Amino acid sequence: MQSKKLKKLITIFFVLFIFSACTKDLIVPDPPSPPPPPPVPGKISYAGEIQPIFTEKCVSCHGVGQNPPVLTDGKSYQAMKNMAGMIDTGAPETSILYIEMASGGGMSQHCNKANADSVLKWISEGAVNN
Ligand code: HEC
C-alpha cells in the first residue's frame, strides 16, 4: 500500500515536472532581436583628417626627394596612388600604408592606433581625394 502511494506520488511529480518544463518552454518569449547598428558616421575627409596626420608626423622623412611615398600636402595622394599596393580599396587591411601604420608596422612608432584606424576607414570608404 505504502509503495503504491509512493509510486503514484512519484508519477504525479514526474508528470508535473515534464508538464511544467513544457509550459515554461512555451511561455518563454524569443529573445529580443539585437538593436540596429548605429548610423554610419560621416566619411573621413582626406584633406581634413588624413593629410594632417602626414603633415604632422610623416613629412620630416617623407618629403620630396626623401623616402617614398612623398607625403607632403598636395603631393601625397598621387604619390601613394602611383605606388603599387600602397592603397587597396578591395582589401583595405592589406594596403601597405595601413600595414606600415598599424600596430607592429614599420611606421607605427611615428603614429598611433587612432591614426592607423582613420587611414583604414578612409581606404574602406574608397580612398577618395576628398
Ligand atoms: C624617422 C623617419 C620616418 C618617419 C617619421 C616616417 N617614416 Fe615612413 N619610412 C621611413 C623610411 C626610412 C622608410 C623606408 C624603409 C622602411 O620601410 O622602413 C619608410 C617607409 C614607409 C612606407 C613603406 C614604403 C614602401 O615602399 O613600402 C610607408 C607606407 C610609410 N613609410 C609611411 C609613413 C607614414 C604614414 C608616416 C607617418 C605616420 C611615416 N612613414 C613616418 C622613414 C620615416
Identify the residue whose C-alpha is closest to ligand 1 atom 43: 61
Kindly give the distance from the C-alpha atom of residue 119 to the centroid of ligand 1, in angstroms, as a whole number.
15
Instruction: Please check the confidence at residue 129 and state whether its pLDDT lies above 60.
Output: yes
Residue 10 in domain: no
Residue 23 in domain: no
Identify the residue whose C-alpha is closest to ligand 1 atom 41: 58
Instruction: Please check the confidence at residue 17 and state whether its pLDDT lies above 80.
Output: no
Q: Which of 50, 81, 100, 119 to mutate to test the pocket of ligand 1 (most atoms within 8 A of CB)?
A: 100
Residue 104 in domain: yes
What range does the domain containing 81 cover?
A: 46-124
Residue 38 in domain: no
Residue 98 in domain: yes
Residue 39 in domain: no
Ligand 1 touching residue 106 (CB < 6 A): yes
Ligand 1 touching residue 96 (CB < 6 A): yes
The total number of structural domains in the chain stands at 1
Q: How far apart are CA 98 and CA 104, in angstroms?
A: 11
Q: How far apart are CA 109 and CA 91, in angstroms?
A: 24
Whether residue 118 contacts residue 82, with contact meaning beta carbons closer than 8 Å, is answered with no
The pLDDT score that the predictor gives to residue 28 is 74
Q: Which of these, 78, 81, 115, lies nearest to 95 by C-alpha position?
A: 81
Compute how many other C-beta atoms are within 10 angstroms of the C-beta atom of residue 84. Answer: 8
Which whole number is the average pLDDT over 15-41?
A: 64
The three cell numbers of residue 28 are 518563454
**pLDDT tens readout for residues 72-87:** 999 999 999 999 999 9
Residue 31 in domain: no
Identify the residue whose C-alpha is closest to ligand 1 atom 36: 58
Residue 25 in domain: no
